């Protein structure tokens, strides 16, 4: 036998390929499970290229994305020329991590969480690709991985539970310290009476059309009734709009939802009920305030899931 071939055979036979595979970093490329979905492990953190995008795999029917809380400003990605630059959602990434901790402490469960770790100057993950990343290949790759992780998490949720809750987490700078809940409804629509809102807006025009399809409740009840997500936050002392106490943001600044909510909620098909959650600076500005809100947020999400039957596989 050829001596070179013999040496190669000896090396192959002595190599522990199981250990070699286990030593590789967890990146966006994941092995598929028997159902063809990426085989993510609950509680494991995965990263995209250059660790610009982070994904924590969960076991709840909840997917939380954080598009504007990143700090990284790598020189390989030039500053964006389109859209909003410099104005990132201060401490929203830190709030998301406190929310993860609150779920672990209070329920022992884990939401799926996707974080864009790039500064908004480099990537705006809540925009179409051209506006979000320009033509820079590194930024475009990060944009693709951000949305791929959300898609993978949503597929896992719907495969396990049949449907789920998608939350796009932000931080606003408006003067009023309200939590703004976006359902793809503008101020003019939310200013309508319940009867007018229910008769003029189709469920498919909102990010919660799935919830309306699966229940007999009206749109107004779902977004500002006594069991709405806003009402659950109000119950714990956090002023929210829309809610049972504040049905409309009339006369005040308000974010109704953006690209991510449109793409990843039932507005674009699929089985994810979506809410854009815009938090005021008052709940983000200190560690104490973030942790306090994170506790309430966990309770509100878990109650919302139970009330609407999301926890039933």
Strand partners, 275: 167
What fold characterizes domain 42-307?
Aminopeptidase (3.40.630)
Read off the pTM.
0.89
The predicted-structure confidence for 15-24, as pLDDT tens digits, reads as follows 343 332 333 3
- Element holding 115 (H helix, E strand): strand 112-116
Region class of 116: left (phi > 0), else alpha (psi between -120 and 50), else beta:
beta
Q: Which two tokens stand for residue 39?
A: 């085989």
The predicted-structure confidence for 202-245, as pLDDT tens digits, reads as follows 989 999 998 877 667 899 999 999 999 999 999 999 999 999 99
The predicted-structure confidence for 26-67, as pLDDT tens digits, reads as follows 555 455 555 566 689 999 999 999 999 999 999 999 999 999
- The pLDDT, as a whole number, for residue 70 is 96
How many CB atoms are located within 10 Å of the residue 127 CB? 20
Which one, of 203, 223, 205, 229, lies nearest residue 214 by Cα? Answer: 203
Domain positions in the chain are 42-307
- How would you list the strands of the sheet with 272-279, edge to edge? 45-47, 53-56, 112-116, 62-66, 164-171, 272-279, 179-182, 240-241
């Amino acid at each position: 036998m050829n001596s070179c071939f013999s040496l190669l055979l000896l090396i192959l036979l002595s190599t522990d390929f199981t250990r070699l595979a286990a030593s590789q970093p967890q990146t966006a490329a994941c092995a598929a499970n028997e159902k063809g979905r990426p085989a993510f492990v609950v509680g494991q953190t995965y990263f995209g290229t250059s660790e610009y995008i982070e994904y924590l795999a969960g076991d709840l029917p909840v997917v939380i994305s954080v598009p504007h809380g990143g700090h990284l400003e790598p020189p390989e990605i030039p500053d964006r020329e389109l859209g909003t630059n410099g104005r990132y959602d201060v401490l929203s990434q830190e709030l998301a991590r406190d929310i993860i901790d609150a779920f672990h402490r209070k329920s022992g469960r884990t939401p799926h969480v996707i974080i864009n770790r790039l500064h908004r100057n480099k990537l705006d993950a809540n925009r179409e690709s051209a506006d979000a990343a320009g033509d820079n290949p590194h930024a475009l790759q990060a944009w693709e991985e951000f949305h791929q992780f959300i898609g993978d998490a949503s597929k896992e949720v719907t495969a396990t539970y049949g449907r789920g809750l998608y939350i796009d987490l932000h931080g606003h700078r408006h003067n009023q310290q309200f939590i703004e809940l976006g359902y793809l409804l503008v101020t003019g629509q939310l200013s309508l009476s319940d009867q007018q809102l229910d008769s003029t807006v189709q469920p498919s025009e909102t990010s919660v059309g799935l919830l309306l399809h699966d229940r007999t409740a009206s749109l107004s009840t779902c977004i500002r009734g006594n069991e709405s997500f806003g009402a659950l936050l109000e119950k714990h002392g956090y002023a929210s709009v829309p809610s049972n106490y504040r049905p409309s943001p009339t006369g005040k600044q308000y974010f109704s939802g953006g690209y991510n909510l449109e793409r990843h909620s039932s507005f674009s098909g699929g089985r994810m009920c979506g809410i854009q959650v815009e938090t005021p600076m008052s709940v983000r500005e200190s560690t104490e305030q973030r942790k306090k809100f994170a506790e309430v947020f966990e309770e509100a999400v878990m109650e919302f899931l139970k009330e609407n039957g999301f926890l039933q596989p």
